[in-house]
Amino acid sequence: MKRTIAAIFVSVIILLAAACNSSTSGGSPDAQANDKQADTVTLKFFHRWPSEPRNSYFNSIVKEFENQNPGVKIEMEAVLNDSYKEKIKVLVSSNNIPDVFTSWSDTFAENLVSSGKVKDVSSMYSSDPNWANDIIPSQIKPFTFNGKTYGVPFTMDGKAFFYNKKAFDKAGLQKPKTWEELIAALDKLKSSGYDTPLIEGLQNTWTISHYLGTMTQRMISPDVIAKDYQAQTGQFTDPGYVKVLEYWDKLVSYMGPNATSIDHEAARNLFIAEKVPVMYMQFAELGYLTKNADLQFDFFNFPAFAEGKGNPAALTGAPEGFMISNVGKHQELAEKFVKFIVSPDNAAKFQKDAGAMTVVKGSATADNSPKGTLQAIDVILNATETSPWQDNALNITVADAFMKGGQSMAAKSKTPQQVMDDVQKAAKALHNAK
């Protein structure tokens, strides 16, 4: 009996020891998974490029960064342009701000910085000159406020009228340099068989802001714009604003009956298919034009207004880039991730995969870039002045009044003066809110 009890006792001891050993050597699969999950560092990354080809690019970038940094998980989310504008503002004002997120530059970026939750990344540049020296210096300035830099630029861009060279040659046209020459060219194209010589997808109100922003810059004194574009001082009483909207009304008359019922992508496809000979586009769209190998195109800057008080040689456009949360737990890793993206190899990959220009020196070559890219880079770098997108430069309520007003004009439901009445009311409301 004693032997039996002893045997049982020894068996229990062995089983307990085995259980302890099992626990200390990894435990059950669920326990091991939980331990692994606990060791994983997660970075939240939010951007505005869910469409191809940029979606695939960022998927590959995230996968490669995770492979090079075991134990790191990038939690990525992306939404399109207009939705992104609203969501990032909400996130930045909350306690759920992403570790890394994209931002337009200039006033849009400055508004995010005013939340107090965007990291001052000046030390990223000063502590790593080898990395910083690869970035075109002029593209950093639009992320710099009060002597501190709050973003790392990645893409650079500009806006121009793209035109079909065959259509222009057939009509005997040259690049317009003045407003009158542009209107004469559109009239000539219309008389030569193009019922819609100019196209835009006015479902997307941001496209209207690109027109109105450029036209405002051309028409109105810089001193007036500087005052009006500030929420505290904006009045928008200069008669030049109504004149800009009258000119906008003239341009819309060339866009055909379907402009308000299609989006920018659909409009661009009509240009690519050579159904429409002129479109106001961004240099970032050069890659899309490769869809038609036979398309012969060129571009020219928005022409000058005879009565304009702004710089007629200015270029509308601005860089976009990345910002980092200053309340995140893994700010050093976030900086490492941003540097990984904004590096010569990955910038060149972006140029090749997405067909869009970056701020990294030498990332665009004749071999990895769509036609027109090197010419576009020269235009951007040699511009005497750059003007930011109007919907980023203005307070959103005032910008909306311009964009929706321009859309209403295209639908023939508002006059230029009615639109400006709405703009002035929106600006006055901001004063009262202060």
379 falls in which pLDDT band (50, 70, 90)? very high
Q: Does residue 1 lie within any of the structural domains?
A: no
Percentage of the chain lying above the pLDDT 70 cut: 91
Cβ–Cβ contacts within 10 Å for residue 415, how many? 16
Whole-number pLDDT of residue 7: 45
Q: State the pairing for strand pair 198-199/297-300.
A: unpaired
Residues 376 and 275 in one domain: no
Residues 148 and 68 in one domain: yes
Whole-number pLDDT of residue 38: 56
Residues 377 and 403 in one domain: no
Q: Does residue 8 lie within any of the structural domains?
A: no
pLDDT digits (tens, 9 = 90+) for 120-169: 999 999 999 999 999 999 999 999 999 999 999 999 999 999 999 999 99
Name the residue with tokens 């992104």: 84
Tokens of 204: 């997307």
Q: Cα–Cα distance between 138 and 15 in angstroms, integer?
A: 70
Distance of CA 158 to the CA centre of its chain: 11
Residues 72 and 209 in one domain: no
pLDDT digits (tens, 9 = 90+) for 227-265: 999 999 999 999 999 999 999 999 999 999 999 999 999
Residues 151 and 163 in one domain: no
Domain limits for position 277: 159-316+395-433
Mean predicted confidence (pLDDT) in 93-108: 92
pLDDT digits (tens, 9 = 90+) for 266-318: 999 999 999 999 999 999 999 999 999 999 999 999 999 999 999 999 999 99
Whole-number pLDDT of residue 148: 97
- Residue 372 belongs to a domain with what CATH number? 3.40.190.10
Q: How many domains does the chain have?
A: 2
SS3 content of the chain, % helix, strand, coil (to 5): 55, 15, 35
116 neighbors 139 (Cβ within 8 angstroms): no
Whole-number pLDDT of residue 103: 96
Residues 371 and 303 in one domain: no
Query: Phi/psi zone of residue 256: left (φ > 0), alpha (ψ -120 to 50 degrees), beta?
Result: left
Q: Cα–Cα distance between 105 and 322 in angstroms, integer?
A: 10
Annotate 9-23 with b (16+ C-beta within 10 A) or e (fewer): eeeeeeeeeeeeeee
Q: Does residue 165 lie within any of the structural domains?
A: yes
| Amino acid type, 81 | N
**Residue, of 425 and 18, whose pLDDT is higher:** 425
Is 50 exceeded by the pLDDT of residue 12? no
Sign of CA dihedral 388, 393, 398, 403: positive
Q: Is the peptide bond between 344 and the residue preceding it cis, with omega within 30 degrees of 0?
A: no
Q: Does residue 56 lie within any of the structural domains?
A: yes
Whole-number pLDDT of residue 431: 87
Residues 293 and 199 in one domain: yes
Is 70 exceeded by the pLDDT of residue 32? no
Is 80 exceeded by the pLDDT of residue 9? no
| Amino acid type, 383 | A
Residues 163 and 148 in one domain: no
Residues 354 and 286 in one domain: no
The mean predicted confidence, pLDDT, of the chain is: 91
Is 70 exceeded by the pLDDT of residue 23? no
Residues 170 and 284 in one domain: yes
Residues 189 and 268 in one domain: yes
Q: Cα–Cα distance between 347 and 352 in angstroms, integer?
A: 9
Q: Does residue 23 lie within any of the structural domains?
A: no
Partners of residue 153 on adjacent β-strands: 321
Q: Does residue 368 lie within any of the structural domains?
A: yes
Percentage of the chain lying above the pLDDT 90 cut: 85
**Residue, of 35 and 103, whose pLDDT is higher:** 103
279 neighbors 251 (Cβ within 8 angstroms): no
Is 70 exceeded by the pLDDT of residue 393? yes
Whole-number pLDDT of residue 75: 98
Is 70 exceeded by the pLDDT of residue 49? yes
Whole-number pLDDT of residue 434: 56
Tokens of 40: 């994983």
Mean predicted confidence (pLDDT) in 76-105: 92
Whole-number pLDDT of residue 107: 85
Residues 185 and 285 in one domain: yes
- Please provide the size of the chain in residues: 434
171 neighbors 348 (Cβ within 8 angstroms): no
State whether residue 361 is helix, strand or coil.
coil
Tokens of 62: 């995230």
What Cα–Cα distance (Å) separates residue 115 from each residue in 112, 119, 148, 205?
A: 6, 11, 15, 26
**pTM beyond cutoff 0.95:** no
82 falls in which pLDDT band (50, 70, 90)? confident
13 falls in which pLDDT band (50, 70, 90)? very low
37 falls in which pLDDT band (50, 70, 90)? low
Q: Does residue 89 lie within any of the structural domains?
A: yes
Whole-number pLDDT of residue 10: 41
Lowest average pLDDT, out of 35-49, 73-87, 180-194, 370-384, goes to 35-49
Q: Does residue 387 lie within any of the structural domains?
A: no
Whole-number pLDDT of residue 81: 84
pLDDT digits (tens, 9 = 90+) for 205-229: 999 999 999 999 999 999 999 999 9
Query: Phi/psi zone of residue 27: left (φ > 0), alpha (ψ -120 to 50 degrees), beta?
Result: left
Mean predicted confidence (pLDDT) in 73-87: 93
15 falls in which pLDDT band (50, 70, 90)? very low
Mean predicted confidence (pLDDT) in 37-48: 88
